[in-house]
Structure formats: structure tokens, C-alpha cells
Structure 1
Amino acid sequence: MERKNILGVSLLGLTCLVGAQTASAEIALQPQAVPFGAFVLVPTLNAKTVFDDNIYSLSSNEVSSFSQVVNPNFAFVAQDRANVYKLVYNLNAAGYANDSDDSYNDHKIDLNAHIEPTARLRYDAGLAYGMLHDDRGTGMTSGVGLANILASGEVDKYDLATLRGGVEFGEKTARGLLVANADFNQKRYSRASSALVRDNDTLNMLLGLRARVMPKTTFLVDYEISDTNYDGTSPDTKDNRLLAGITWENTAQTTGKLRLGQGKRQTDSAKDINKFTWDLGMVWKPLVLDAINVSAGARTSDASFPYSSVENTNYSASWTHDWLDRVNTVVSLGASTDDYDIAPGVVASARSDDVTTYGVAVNYQMRRWLILNAAINSSDKDSSAAGFSNKRNVMSIGAQVSL
């Protein structure tokens, strides 16, 4: 009996493991857990065939290609009462028909522990390491033209190490709750030209207060810090943001979070940026078979060299409708504006991008362990800088599989 308690995995834990790979709460993989030593193993697999009519996001001389994408995920989970320990390995591999230099194999391993020693105290700690990449046509090869992209060789690879931790103080049902979390990220590129301007160490921190004003409505105040130090010629940056807002649940059939505040961005040898910042995430269920997800926000963050910062404003919405018990569709629409600030001491053209995105997806749950899906996504970017405007259509058909 004691061993069974150690191996037990809550329904919430399984939902967290596969939630990113599922279409909606109604159509979702229901994986079987396999005992594996002191843990249980939950394997899942995503596989799809993709056609992209502009794989490099070019404004002219577009290149199209088919690709095969395979994404297995292995999660080892142990639970002891409210304490949960997870070790997750994820592989994301793609093979391109047009040029093998576009193919990649991304690996990521993540170790996480959630510990609740008392009803008032909760800890989270984690360590992750990834061997990842930037697609050709993004990052250092964004907007450089087809000839330069082909001459760059294989995709730009980098290693990303992350150390994170967090703490919550206060009972979940209490009127007040204190939260604090931080993560430290180290990013290192294998290509010298990219490492010179993109290798960095980043520290992110959040201190927050939660005050329950109604049974399902909470007032919050967050203070955020992001500090990025570059090893090469890119200027170091630091962001300070103070936000206040509310979270709510099932109020007029909606659940969401809204924060409003002010952000200050400091960049070495450049003028400070003071900007109103905000973010919104909301789910509205007007009918039993429908769910509308809305997200929006505005903030300033780092940009790829020769730019130091990008001021982003974005809006997006998606509508999920369940036609049958096993079939649903998802229609999405998004719009964003990016205003770029040129790095100090660099001669470059000013740049502002307006991007509109559209998407339609169909999901069919053929079995408890099998979901079939097909999707079409389109984007239209209008940029003030030459070489960055483009149109792109991506079509895919695939499956999600579990035991």
C-alpha cells in the first residue's frame, strides 16, 4: 500500500503533462501511466507532415518545402501527498525535403520539484537544459535575403541552461498570499558570429501580493525585474515593471487575468524607455459547446542585433467549437505591432512591423490514446524596413498518440 501511494499520479498531474499537446478540455489525450521504479512513466508522441510556402519568411524569391516533424515526450512522475517530482525529456526533430541544412534535432531535459511542507508554504524548484536552434530566416539570418541564408549553412544552434525557484506563503483559501519566483538563464550559441551579439545571461524575478476580495476574485500586485547581460557587443538591458490587476473565475461564464502598470527599460548607452505595460488572458464560455480565448498585451523586450529593444503590442482570439463528442474546430485571429529601437552606435534603418495572423484547425479524437488533426495558419507582415515584409502559409496534418 505504501508503494502505491508513492507511485500515485493525480489527474491534475497528468493533465499538466499533456495539456500543451491537446486541443481543448473536451478533446484530450488520456495517457496510461506505466510503473517505472519509484516513478511512473507517461510517454506521448506528436507527429505531423508540414507544407510551408515561405520557410525563410522572405519578401521575394520565396522557398517552399515539405517537412516531417516528430515530437516524443517522456515524463517520469512521482507524487507523495501534495509533493510532486517530475523529470521530462522532450525531443523535437524535423527533416526538410528542400534542404537538409534546415533540418534540426532539439533536445530538452527538465527536472522539477513541487514541495508543500505545510498548508501555508509551497516551494517549486527546477533545472532545465536544452540543445535548441533558430530556424534559418530568423535570428541572425532574419531579413538578410535568400543568398545569405543559403550561404549560412545549417540552422543556428545554441544551448540554454535554466535554474528556477519559487515560493508561496499563505493558505490557498486565505485572503492574502505572498509569491516570489526567479529564474536564471544562460544562452550560448555554437556559431561564433551569433555568439558575438547573442550570448547572454538573464535573470528574471517576480515579487507579488494576492488579496482575495471576493470568493473567486483576487486583487494582485506584481513587481518584475529582467536583467540581461550580453557577453559580446550587444548592450546590456534591465527592465523594471510594476503591475496591478485582478484574476477572476466563472464570473459571467469567464475566467481570466488582467494586469496594468508601468515599465522602465534601461539600455547601456541609450535613452531609457518608459512605457505603459499590460497583459490580459481570458476564457469565455458563452455556450456549453463553445469557448473563446482572448489574450493581449504590451511590453518592451530584447530584440535581435542590430536592434536592442522591441516595443510590442499584441491582440489575439480563438474560438473552439465542439461539433461532436470527438470533433472540434479552432479558429484563431491575431494582430501585433513591433517598434524596434536601434542598438547604440549601430547604423541601421528604423523598423516597425505590423503582423496579422489567421488559423483554422480540426481535431478528431479517434481513440482515448489517439487524436488526429489538420491545420492551416497564415501570416502577413508589413514592415517599414526593406526585406522584412512577407506572407507565409503553413499547412499541417498530424496525430497525437499516447499509451
Structure 2
Amino acid sequence: MTFKSTALAVAISAALCGSAWAVDPQSVRIGDGILFTPTLKVSERYEDNFRALERNEESSWITSIAPSLTLTAEGSKTGYKLNYTTVSDIFHSSRSDDNTDHHLTGEMVAEFNSRNRIKLDAAYHKVEETAAADQNIENDRYSSALVGGLYTFGARSARTQVDLGASYEELRYQNSGNLNADKERDTVALRSTVYYAVTPRTRVLGELRHTDYDYVSYNQRDSKNLALLTGATWDATARTSGTVKIGAERKRFDQSGIDNKSGSMWEAGLSWAPRTYSTFNLHTRRSFDEGEDNASTIRAMSAQLSWEHQWLERLSSTVSLGYVDKEYQDYARDDELTTLGFGLTYAMRRWLDVGIGYKYAENDSTQFNESYTRNIYMLSVTASL
């Protein structure tokens, strides 16, 4: 059986909670340059199809409790950040689906001198998802561990800068039997980017990426991706900023029985603020994603447009529209996911926000029993010190 990807869950969270974290937490100083910041978010939402099924939908009120703890420390040339967030979901109409997710992230930045900087990050996530293709199958239960680093050579004011990045990620499932065992993999990614300033606020770039996917048991999907991109990044005015990368990608499988794949690739993130209180954001991407079901890989194209507006000093809103097209390779399936979301946040106090939100999702699939619609309504309260 198949399970929905995390893309829908991420899109839902972004649309419903886009402005819900507008609180200005008061940190507690626990040492020289060390700050502790706790935050608590409590939400109540109603989902009319929380398993994302085409038929036999299940609905439930869901209570979510999400405390977050953050430690930060800063030195003259270094900075550290450690965050732990846990999200507990209570399904009032299906208590067997109650679950708790855990997210631990860490980050360190250091500037050795004007020409040499480094950023290190690590993360561990343990997640359970209810969106499944068959309500008689257990939920997705998986964990991912990631370590990575980025070294930058070149002064901030220099015409040329170079980024060298590397990361390693492990994806593991905790389902019973061999359910989802074919998705377990180790991923090593390398990246090199050269920037050249053509104006004080605009840089052109060239980027080379190499990614190695090593599956634990399903070796047919072992592959290596190579991508070459060019583009620009700019902050030309107070109103416009963004990064655009366009190029090509090739996926070469280790198994000789699977045809290699190649095609165009792009990534873009644009922000336009016609007013200081109103911002439009556009994010779009086209690339190869890892395969699922019987697909060797998935050619995915996504676009997300959002509008954030501050109506009053205490009242703000977020509207989003998303589209994802997934073309399954070596497998007769094509999915088109459309999402629409709205969120409204009222800042009652510096330390207290109240938000309401709505999300609609519709997946149109050529595969039998994979299409669905989903409505989500939410009320949230976010508090801090």
C-alpha cells in the first residue's frame, strides 16, 4: 500500500499557521550571552478527511499541543541555536491515532575572519502521519537524522564568493513488518556555488550539485543525481528580493535495468513588498524526487504563492495558493495537488496571539483510489513569556 508524502502536511501547516507565530517572546537570560525562550501553541482543528482517502473518509476534531524550547548563545564571532519542539495530536473520533512528533534542531555559525565563514547544522525528526491510502493500514511512522555544513570563502563586500556544502541524512521507518522498508535510505549531498557581484545588490551564480541515494533494502532505486544550475540572487530595492536558479538534472541508476532520467530543473524564491505592511511571496521548483510505489523516480513541479498583509497594528492575515504536479516515472500515474489556505491572526498581547485558519486540498490522480478532497478548519492560541 502507498502513503501520502509529507508535502501536503507541510503545506497545510504553512497555510494555517503562516502568521500564528507573530508573538514577540521574552527570553530568559540564564548565562553570559545565553538565552532561553519557551513558546506554547495550542490549537483545535476539524478535518473532514484526515486520512486523505478517495472514499470511506474519516473526520475528527483534533487537539494539538506544541511546546517549543529554544537556547541561543552568541559570541563576538560565533553563534549557537538549539531548538526542541514536540507536537502532540489528540484525535477525538479516533483515539488510536493519537501521536506525538519530536523535532530537535541545532545550528552553529562562526566567522574566522572577513574571508572565512562556516555554518553547521543538525536535525532529528520523529514523525507519525495519518494520511494513508487504506484506513486498515497503520500510520506512517518514521525518523530522519541530518547533519550538514556550509563553508563560505570571500569577504561579504568582495566581488566573488564561493560556497562549499555537504550533508548526510538517514531516513528510517518504525512500521511493523516490512511496511515502508523500501523507502529507507541514506543520502549524501555535495554542493558548490560561485557568486559574482554585478552590482552592489545583485549577484549572478553558478552551482553544481551531486547527490547519492543509497537504499537500505530496495537497491533498485540506488542512484546518483547530478545538477548544474545558473541564476542570480538580488536585493535590488526595499521592495523586491529573491533567488532564481535554472539548469538541468540527470539521474543515473546503479541498476542497469532502469533507464537513466534527465531534464530541466529550476528553483526560485521571490518576494515583493509593494507596501511595508504587505508582502507577496512566490516559491517554485522543478526537480526529480525519490520514487514511491512502483515508480523509479518522480518528476515534481511545485508552485506556492502567498500574500501576507498587516491590516491593523494587531491584525494580520496570510492567503496561500499551491500547486504540485507529480509525474511518476516508469509507472502509469500522475497526481495534481491543489491547495488553498487562509489564516487570520490577532495579537492580543506581545506574548499572546489568537489565530483562525482554513485549508482546502484536492488531489487529482490517474491512479485508482488516490484522488481525494480535504477541508481543515483551525483555531489556535500561541503564548510565550
What TM-score comes out, normalization by structure 2 length? 0.90
- Say whether residues 1:257 and 2:243 are aligned partners: yes
The equivalent residue for 2:22 is 28
1:129/1:322 CA distance change after superposition, 3 Å: closer
Q: Secondary structure at the match of 1:324?
A: coil
The equivalent residue for 2:228 is 242
Verify the 8 A CA contact 2:15 2:318 in the aligned structure 1: no
Q: Secondary structure at the match of 1:285?
A: strand
The equivalent residue for 2:303 is 315
**Aligned runs of 1:3-402 on 2, under 5 Å?**
23=18, 28-37=22-31, 39-133=34-128, 135-137=129-131, 141=132, 143=133, 145=134, 149-150=135-136, 152-153=137-138, 155-191=139-175, 192-233=177-218, 234-251=220-237, 253-267=239-253, 268=255, 269-342=257-330, 350-402=332-384
Larger RCO (alpha carbons 8 Å, 6+ apart) = 2
Verify the 8 A CA contact 2:16 2:378 in the aligned structure 1: no
Cα offset, 1:167, TM superposition? 0.6
Verify the 8 A CA contact 2:24 2:350 in the aligned structure 1: yes
Q: Secondary structure at the match of 1:387?
A: coil
Cα offset, 1:22, TM superposition? 7.4
Cα offset, 1:23, TM superposition? 4.3
Verify the 8 A CA contact 2:189 2:211 in the aligned structure 1: yes
Cα offset, 1:220, TM superposition? 0.9
What TM-score comes out, normalization by structure 1 length? 0.86
Structure 2 counterpart of 1:358, one-letter code: L
- Measure the CA separation in 1 of the matches of 2:98 and 2:107: 30
Verify the 8 A CA contact 2:230 2:245 in the aligned structure 1: yes
Cα offset, 1:351, TM superposition? 0.3
Per-residue CA distance 1:206-247 (angstroms, 9 max, x = gap): 110011110111111111122111111252122111110011
- Measure the CA separation in 1 of the matches of 2:207 and 2:45: 40
Question: What 5-or-longer segments of structure 1 have no aligned partner?
Answer: 1-18, 343-348
- Measure the CA separation in 2 of the matches of 1:236 and 1:195: 16
1:49/1:20 CA distance change after superposition, 3 Å: closer
Question: What 5-or-longer segments of structure 2 have no aligned partner?
Answer: 1-13
Structure 2 counterpart of 1:94, one-letter code: D
- Measure the CA separation in 2 of the matches of 1:371 and 1:215: 39
1:338/1:328 CA distance change after superposition, 3 Å: same
Cα offset, 1:195, TM superposition? 5.0
The number of aligned residues is 367
Cα offset, 1:177, TM superposition? 0.5
Q: Secondary structure at the match of 2:323?
A: strand
Cα offset, 1:198, TM superposition? 1.6
Cα offset, 1:360, TM superposition? 1.1
Structure 2 counterpart of 1:307, one-letter code: A
Cα offset, 1:396, TM superposition? 0.7
The equivalent residue for 1:9 is none
Verify the 8 A CA contact 1:50 1:68 in the aligned structure 2: yes
